[in-house]
Amino acid sequence: MTMAGNTEADVLPPVSSSLLVEHGRAKVNLTLRVVGRRTDGYHELESVVAFADCADRLTLTEAPELHLRAIGPLAEACGATADNLVLKAARLLAERVPGLKVGEFTLDKVLPVAAGIGGGSADAAAALRLLAALNGLSLDDARMREVALATGADVPVCLASSACDMTGVGETLLPLDVPELPCVMVNPRVPVATKDVFQALGLRNGELLVGVTDVIQAQAWPAKGASIADWVTALKLVPNDLEAPALRIQPAIGEVLSSLRASDGALLARMSGSGATCFALFSNSGEAGRAAQKVSADHPQWWVHAGTLS
């Protein structure tokens, strides 16, 4: 992606600093192809990404020092706050923006961690949006995009939090007109480390997984106004290449997929990202809601959310 330079247009009037609020929406990989592994060890991906209506909540109060406090039902699962991507993103931005105003972040953590839905990346992106508002920075500022990618591969897509086709190592984003997709998201409450899944995939540096012919004949996604059925038909043609290696690492993913695929009205069920969260798409919210109720009743220990992706 070409980086735009910093111009006067990148500077916006700062907003009131009393209490700023943003949400880190869960990211769902509707498809995920691993094109190959670069010689530097990074993996090239192609993924259709949408965002759910469930989210962590992040607030920022201006203060002289940068600080993060985690609260909420899954706060302990975040680990040490010093390692949190919220602080990493803020520090990287401060290195690039002289005199950056910072403050105290409070993260209300409700999304599962190490779950394949970009929770940490969504929180980091929310932090960047908050700092942009506090400092009058545009999200199109080249420094914002540079920091997003330096923080993590999923942070650029989470910065916009809108449906797109993501390629490269996460830096190239093509907006897509995806209709609201009724869904059920399920996580068996077992963490799966992304690095372990890529290690199980087993690509060597410089090795391609997708052939040149596959790249040339890449899927054309439905145009604006396409139906849910049109999107499901297109999505079925492109898998998640990380599903098989993730299943070898964590068999519980198979149980989740079986439960979702057995749900009445499920049109498509697969894993998101590197797991262990899986999702199923439905024709309407009623079917999704009933499916979520049954999954929750059958597996009360699982995290279950019925909602929409967009």
- The residues that are catalytic are 27, 154
* Single-letter code of the amino acid located at 110: V
- Is residue 182 within 8 A of residue 283, CB to CB? The reply is yes
Tokens of 237: 């043609």
Q: How far is CA 202 from CA 29, 67, 197, 215, 253, in A?
A: 21, 38, 9, 20, 19
Residues 67 and 81: their CA atoms lie apart, in Å, by 9
Between CA 266 and CA 283 the distance in angstroms is 8
Site of tokens 């940490």: 120
Angle between helices 119-135 and 85-96 (to 10 degrees): 40
Copy the structure tokens of residue 273: 């990202």
Q: What angle do CA 152, 157, 158 make, to 5 degrees?
A: 80
